[in-house]
Chains A and B, each alone.
Chain A
Amino acid sequence: MLEIRWHSRAGQGAVTGAKGLADVVSTTGKHVQAFAFYGSAKRGAAMTAYNRVDDAPIMNHEKFMAPDYVLVIDPALVYVADFTAFEKPDTVYIITTHLSTEELVASQPKLEGKKVYTVDCIKISQETIGKAIPNTPMLGALMKVSGMYEMDFFKENMIRVLKKLPQKIIDANMIAIQRAYDEVK
C-alpha cells in the first residue's frame, strides 16, 4: 500500500490533483482511493487530501494515514499546518517553496534529517498556467521523486484527465508538469 497526503489550501486544487493521480494510476490496473477532508471549509482554509494505491482492492476507509509521501502545495503550510503528523522514518516530503531545500530545512527544524525535496509549484503554475494552481506541477515533481511512471505515459494520461479544459490550458499544464519534473531538487 502506497499512501500520500496532500497539504493545501481550499481552492489550490489538491482534491483535483489527488483524483487526477488516482485516475492515472488506475489505468495501470492498480486499485486507488482519493479523498479529502475539508468539511464546509472556505476557500483559502488549510485542508488535506489523500491517495491510497495498492495491488489489491482497498478496503480501508479510515482517514488516519501514516503517509509514504507528503505533498505540500502551499509554501506557508510548512509553518502553520501539522504536516509531519503520523510520519514514518522514511516519509518523503515534496514541498512547494521559493527557498532552496537547505534554506527550507533551516527555517523549519521539523524537517531536519528527513527526505525533503523542494520545487516552486506556485511560481511554475503562475508562469505557465497563469494562475497559482500548484496541483499539476506537484504531480510532475512526484513523478520525478518517486519514479512512479515515465513522463510520456503520465502526461498522455493527464491530457485525458484534463480533457474538459480548453486546449491552451491543457498545454500549459503539460509544460508546468514537465518544468516541475525538471526543477524539483
Chain B
Amino acid sequence: MAESMELRDIEVWDGNMAASQALRQVQVDVVAAYPITPSTPIVENYAGFAANAYVDGEFVMTESEHGAMSCCIGASAAGGRVATATSSQGFALMVETLYSASGMRLPIILNVVNRAIGAPLNVNGDHSDMYMGRDTGWIQLDAYNPQHAYDLNFIAFKVAEDHDVRLPAMVHQDGFMTSHTAQGVHTMTDEAGFNFVGEFKPMNDMLDLDHPVTHGVQTEEDWHFEHKARQQHALMTAVIPKLEAAFDAFEALTGRRYNLVETHQMEDAEMAVICMGTSVETAMEVVNELRAQGIKAGVVGIRVFRPWPMERLVEVLKNVKAIGTLDRSSPHGTMGMLFNEISGSLFNTDTKAVLTNYIYGLGGRDLTKAHLVGIFNDLKANMDAGKPTTPLQQYIGLRGPKLSFF
C-alpha cells in the first residue's frame, strides 16, 4: 500500500511538481515515459515518488516517446489507470500513437508541457505542440498556472475514465512560464484527491479473461467511418456535460471554479482578446488596469480546447465590437488557429465584431503587458471605425521590420 504524503495547505510548487503530485494522488497504475524538456520533471518527480514507496503502480522507462505512448496504450487496454507527460518533438514523435489511443477509446492522461517545435531547436514555451494535437481525438484542457495544472489533472481523470466518455485527455501547461514557475498551490489531502477521481473501473479490459476482447482491429471501408463517427459523437456530446459536472463537483470540494471558457470583465466588454495559457492571466491584469481608465476591455480564455466550446464562445462574445485572437504558434501559411476557429464560431451569428489576429510569443518570446496595451489600442481603433484599421494578422514582439499579412 502506497505511503501517504503530508502536504501543507499551500505548497510552493512549479507546474511540473503540481502535475506530478496529482498523478501520485490519483494512484496511476502505469506511467510509461521518456523525458524531454520542459516536461521532464513531471516524470522525474513521479519516479522519485515511486522509488520512495509513495506509489503502488509501475513506472516504465521506454526508449522513445513513441514507445512511451505505445506502452500506455497497452497498459490502458489491459485495464489500468495510465498517464505520462511530454513536450515538443517528443509530442510530435507520439502523434501516430495518439490517434491509436483515441481511436481505441483508451482514457490515458497526457500532461503536455507546451514547447516550441524545431527547427530551430528551442526548449522554451509556445503552443506549437498543443496545436498539433487538435485533430488527434483527445480532450484538451489548458492550465494557466501551477494551480490549474494540479486541479485539471483530477478533472481530466474523472472525465476521461467515465464510461460514457472513454476518451484520452491532455492537460496542457506553458513550458517554463508555468512548468518551471513556482507559485502557491492549494493542495488536497491524498484521500480527498483520490476520492474525487475514485477507483479505476476498467471496461472491455484485455485482462478480463472471462470476457475476451480484441483491441486495435482492422476495419477497412466497411466499418472505419462508423467507428470515427462514434468517436466524434462521444467527443461532441458526452464530454462537455461530464466536464461541467466535474467542474461543479470540483468547486464543491475545493471552492475553485473552472469553466469551459474563462471570462474576465466580459459582462459589459466592448472589446476582448482571446488567448490561452499564461497569457490569459497577464491579459486579465492588463484589463484591470484599462478598466481603471474607463476602457471597457475583457479577456476570454480557452480552458477546454477540444472539444471546442462553440456555443459558450458565441454566448460570451455576442456583444463585443472588436476581438483580437492571440495565437502562440506559427500558422505557416494561413491565419492563426484561434482566428479561424472564432471566425467559424461567429459566422452564422448576428455579430458585427471586427476580428483580427496576433501571432506572438514564439519560442518563449515574452508577451509583455505593454504588448497587450498596444493590442487593445488597435482593437479600440477597429471598434471605432467598425472595420479593421490594421492588417488582419500582425506579429507582436518580433525584432526587425514590422511583419503583417492580409
Task: List residues of A whose CB falls within 8 A of some B CB.
Answer: 18-19, 22-23, 26, 31-37, 39-40, 58-64
Contacts and interface: CB of A to CB of B under 8 A. Distances in A.
B55 to A, nearest CB: 18
A33 B124 contact: no
Contact of A59 (B180, B181, B285, B367): B285
25 contacts: A18-B182, A19-B12, A19-B182, A22-B12, A22-B183, A26-B10, A31-B184, A33-B182, A33-B183, A34-B12, A35-B176, A35-B177, A39-B123, A39-B124, A39-B364, A59-B281, A59-B285, A60-B281, A61-B174, A61-B181, A61-B279, A61-B281, A62-B282, A62-B366, A62-B368
Contact of A61 (B12, B123, B278): B278
B264 to A, nearest CB: 9
User: At the interface, is chain A mostly helix, strand, loop or mixed?
Assistant: mixed
B283 to A, nearest CB: 9
Nearest to A62: B368
B288 to A, nearest CB: 8
Contacts of B124: 39
A61 B285 CA distance: 10
B53 to A, nearest CB: 16
A138 B223 CA distance: 67
Given A22-B12, A40-B37, A58 B183 contact: yes
Interface string B356-399: 00000000101111100000000000000000000000000000
B182 A32 contact: yes
Contacts of B37: 40
B181 A33 contact: yes
A25 B149 CA distance: 22
B282 A60 contact: yes
Contacts, number: 67
B57 to A, nearest CB: 23
A60 B176 CA distance: 14
Given A60-B369, A64-B366, A23 B12 contact: yes
Interface in B30-87: 37
A156 to B, nearest CB: 14
B284 interface: yes
A62 B368 CA distance: 5
Interface size range on B against A: 20 to 34
A80 B73 CA distance: 51
B217 to A, nearest CB: 43
A4 B178 CA distance: 18
B177 A61 contact: yes
A27 to B, nearest CB: 8
Interface in B153-208: 174, 176-178, 180-184
A167 B14 CA distance: 26
B291 to A, nearest CB: 14
Contacts of B182: 18-19, 22-23, 32-35
Given A60-B281, A61-B279, A32 B184 contact: yes
Nearest to B281: A59
Given A22-B12, A62-B368, 7 more contacts: A26-B10, A26-B12, A34-B183, A35-B176, A61-B178, A64-B368, A64-B369
Contacts of A18: 182
B307 to A, nearest CB: 26
A82 to B, nearest CB: 15
Contacts of A23: 12, 182
Contacts of A63: 366
Nearest to A24: B12
Given A60-B282, A61-B181, A61-B282, A32 B368 contact: no
Contacts of B12: 19, 22-23, 26, 32, 34
A36 B181 CA distance: 7
A19 B124 CA distance: 20
Contacts of B10: 26
Q: Which of A35, A62, A64 has the most CB of B within 10 A?
A: A62
A40 B123 contact: yes
A77 B364 CA distance: 24
